[in-house]
Structure 1
Amino acid sequence: MTEPRDAVDDLRRIAFLLERAHESTYRVRAFRTAAGVLRGRDPDQLAALVASGELVRLRGVGEVTARCVAESLAGEEPVYLRRLEATDGTPLDEAAADLRAALRGDFHSHTDASDGGSPLREMVETARELGHEYLVITDHSPRLTVANGLSADRLRRQIEQIAELNDELADDFRVLTGIEVDILDDGALDQDEDLLAQLDVVVASVHSKLRMPAAEMTERMLTAVANPHVDVLGHCTGRMVTGKRKRPESEFDADAVFAACAEHGVAVEVNSRPERLDPPKRLLRLAVEVGCEFSIDTDAHAPGQLDWLDYGVSRAVACGVPTERVINSWPLERVLARRR
């Protein structure tokens, strides 16, 4: 008799592959919701629900997800999953593959505490399955209300949740506390200074007034980079290269900003989101020449997006980013020691 597969794992894998392929959110949500509904249920109970036709009556389980569950319980790889696996991804070239293999974690990720689509635990489980050694949780700061940015109190609660989760995890993985803090118009940071000092990683990004005159934007970014709490300068030009939100780069003195990053030990983010791909290659090459460190991040807002590192890695290799200057290739102890 064929052994049944883990139906919940199969549903989660489908959701992951759909997210990684940038498929519609509603489709991803259907599989992830079904996985959440069925998580923890005994396989015999699931089999009885399939046999009676009652599985599709469960809130959050539809005909397609129920069919996948039935196939899993029968010991078969669901057809939906098999098709996704067959068309998944393309191999990196050798140099990019070496850099990708060197990466140990991700410094920029979002949960449903702000504008992400999945809870903390789901993001962490996926990061572990991808082979990461650590994941930094960087939900938005309060002024970004459109993204449900975290107030100081909400951020403190998240820090406590991360500590509790770390107590449960094996020694081979660590969740790091962090924030994607808004750089305000004058370069100040959108969160309490004493709270920023408690975090493992602070990513500072511009999200507003992206068309600010170049001189003012330069001063704004220089002020933020000089703040001793900042570890990473996120998606520095703010550009969007695809989709309905397509927009041009912000204008600023890149020589001055990258020189300040190198001086203050702030890593320049290589943002891997396909619609961002920020910074542009000409600026990425400039940052290499100036001597900056880098963080190749997914800026993931869903678990499947945590596997978007390939996009950033390919661009980093094309622009000559040295592996030793990529801070998320460093072991955890060195990452934590780097905190200024």
Structure 2
Amino acid sequence: MSALLNGEPEGCRSLIPGGCSTRVPGRFPPPGGIEVELDHGPSLATRWFNGTVTGQARVVEALQRIAYLLERAREPTYRVRAFRNAAATISALGDDELRGRVQAGTLTELRGIGKVTAEVVTEALSGETPVYLRRLEATGGQPVAEGGAEIRAALRGDLHTHSDWSDGGSPIADMVAAAQALGHEYIALTDHSPRLTVANGLSAERLRRQLDALAELNAGSGGIRVLTGIEVDINEDGSLDQSDDLLGRLDVVVASVHSKLRMPQEEMTRRMVTAIANPHVDVLGHCTGRLVTGGRGTRPESAFDAEVVFAACARFGVAVEINSRPERLDPPKRLLRLAVEAGCQFAVNTDAHAPGQLDWQPYGCERAAACGVPLENIVNTWAVQDLLSWTAQQS
């Protein structure tokens, strides 16, 4: 995994994703060789602090769980990073040194440990549920949405995620571990394409390096398949922001509009249909580009002929993404119902930029169920080989 960890910016490299409400238990070896089992249930705090996990492992899990819940709540990256960095620091300590520093009150002398994280460490080590974690569990530890249970149970993976190779906040290893903890059989890494410089889009050379890293990761991973992918920009003329050669090497291609969102309707329709007809495209990402809430403010939908666009998706076998990000929830329900009527296939994705955001899929499942999306038409309910056979047919 050296290429994966050393080829791009560093972050917290723990393979514990911080805990989550899991469908399938998993075991993950974080740095230091401590093995912790992630369990079922809406909150892991009970198991952490009932004596079955002790010492350093309990502290690391508490810090990671806090980071996870902050990510899920869309808190600022710097706040999340403070807890992930603290977890990495504690992971490198021996249990005796950790207890000694807590007793001596010298935790804050360590790089990555501040006043707040030191309080969490101290409380967790003593066997208490840290106040910070208790507060987060009360406000954000429950399932994000209640509907769409049948679809949630059938999902096998997520086809739109980002890492710190582009504008995500965490290394690939952390994203993969969180996906496995959620019970996913596969996850597609779809970092941005070069034109989107504001999101640190991958040049052709960086994408090649990422493909090498993912091949190395898949060779040593157990149980979960990391699919190669990209969220490729749809240029103004409908062409794609990456070479055909590289797009042809990828398992999953999500094509999205990120620029000139206010194009006239006829031009936007032509732009989108041209991209949909490209044989490399598998999924049409967040089709309206709208933002309904969040720190970036709101943004209206792009204008396009939805009947024409969805007819093209159905004709060319391109799945319409049901984007589960709370600030997007794209497409809106009226368009989602129109896509169902057009006979489209769908992908319920998170567009996650951090491990905790992988837990947003229930938002999309709830909307899919409400709009009558047939379960068999959701491509990420399929087994990985069936999915890959489908994407191969696209190109």
Answer whether TM exceeds 0.5 for this pair.
yes
Counterpart of 2:290 in structure 1 is 239
Distance 1:251 1:92 in 2: 29
The counterpart of 2:273, out of the listed 195, 218, 222, is: 222
Structure 1 SS opposite 2:148: helix
> Normalising by the residue count of structure 2, what TM-score does the alignment of the two structures yield?
0.82
The counterpart of 2:371, out of the listed 319, 322, 326, is: 319
Cα contact 1:297–1:312 (8 A) shared by 2: yes
Give runs of aligned pairs for residues 94-109 of structure 1, distance below 5 A: 96-109=148-161
Cα contact 2:144–2:362 (8 A) shared by 1: no
The counterpart of 1:182, out of the listed 229, 233, 254, is: 233
Distance 2:185 2:97 in 1: 35
Percent identity for Structure 1 against Structure 2: 64
Counterpart of 1:89 in structure 2 is 142
Counterpart of 2:242 in structure 1 is 191
Cα contact 1:15–1:29 (8 A) shared by 2: yes
Counterpart of 1:210 in structure 2 is 261
Give runs of aligned pairs for residues 271-290 of structure 1, distance below 5 A: 271-290=323-342
Q: Which string of whole-angstrom CA distances, capped at 9 and with x for unpartnered residues, describes residues 126-147 of structure 1?
A: 1111111111111000000111
Cα distance, 1:237 vs structure 2: 0.6
Deviates more, 1:18-27 or 1:110-119: 18-27
Distance 1:222 1:183 in 2: 10
Counterpart of 1:333 in structure 2 is 385
Counterpart of 1:66 in structure 2 is 118
Matched to 1:298, the amino acid is T
Give runs of aligned pairs for residues 44-193 of structure 1, distance below 5 A: 44-87=96-139, 88-90=141-143, 92-93=145-146, 96-170=148-222, 172-193=223-244
Counterpart of 2:75 in structure 1 is 23
Cα contact 2:144–2:360 (8 A) shared by 1: no
Distance 2:347 2:230 in 1: 15
Distance 1:338 1:45 in 2: 53
Distance 1:90 1:122 in 2: 21
Cα contact 1:181–1:205 (8 A) shared by 2: yes
Distance 1:301 1:111 in 2: 6
Distance 1:302 1:196 in 2: 24
Aligned residues: 338
Matched to 2:180, the amino acid is R
> Normalising by the residue count of structure 1, what TM-score does the alignment of the two structures yield?
0.95
Counterpart of 2:22 in structure 1 is none
Distance 1:75 1:223 in 2: 59
Distance 2:209 2:339 in 1: 36
Q: What are the ranges of 5 or more consecutive residues in structure 1 without an aligned counterpart?
A: none
Cα distance, 1:241 vs structure 2: 1.1
Structure 2 SS opposite 1:86: helix
Residue 318 of structure 2 is aligned to residue 266 of structure 1:
yes
Structure 2 SS opposite 1:75: coil
Point out 4+ residue stretches in structure 1 off by more than 6 angstroms: none
Matched to 1:89, the amino acid is Q
Distance 1:245 1:186 in 2: 28
The counterpart of 2:309, out of the listed 241, 257, 262, is: 257
Matched to 1:336, the amino acid is L
Distance 2:78 2:144 in 1: 28
